[in-house]
Amino acid sequence: MRPFVKHEMAVLCAAIAFLTRGCVISPVPEPIVVELINETSLDVTPNLFVSSAEVDSATLFGDTANRILTFTDRPFPELRAGETATVEFTCEQIARVGVLQPVLFDGFTLTTTKSTDEIFLVREGDFDCGATIRFHFFQNETGFRVRFD
């Protein structure tokens, strides 16, 4: 082998090593999964809101474009008794998420009960990319409620 070939190969290897160290490939953040869990024996309208922007609760809940209706393909955005729906978002799609005064519907008596609960969650405070956020809709001695975990 020529003397310069070894040197040229060493220079080429050093250049490749230098270039590959400077080019870091970041992994894609894991999605955020939101589960809506109806623990009641009646239908529930969850009133789920999501924003990709870092907004306050008034802005999140005040903009109807933030309301998520795609958790079902039925004409009404409701969870049937005992039903769980799952919605997946990319990390960039969900900086804020919340539930505002979900509604319980009794199809037999045609009455509704609105919860007074409001849950407002912030990414990188209450949840991170890759999280699963579960909203549980339930009834207890204080009425119709929602909680999250």
Structure tokens at 84: 């769980």
**pLDDT band with cut points at 50, 70 and 90 for residue 1:** very low
**pLDDT band with cut points at 50, 70 and 90 for residue 145:** very high
What is the value of pTM for the model shown?
0.82
Per-residue pLDDT tens over the stretch 40-91: 999 999 999 999 999 999 999 999 999 999 999 989 999 999 999 999 999 9
Whether 12 and 110 have beta carbons less than 8 Å apart is answered as no
pLDDT of res. 18: 53
Whether 4 shows a pLDDT value over 70: the answer reads no
Cα separation, 73 vs 53, whole angstroms: 26
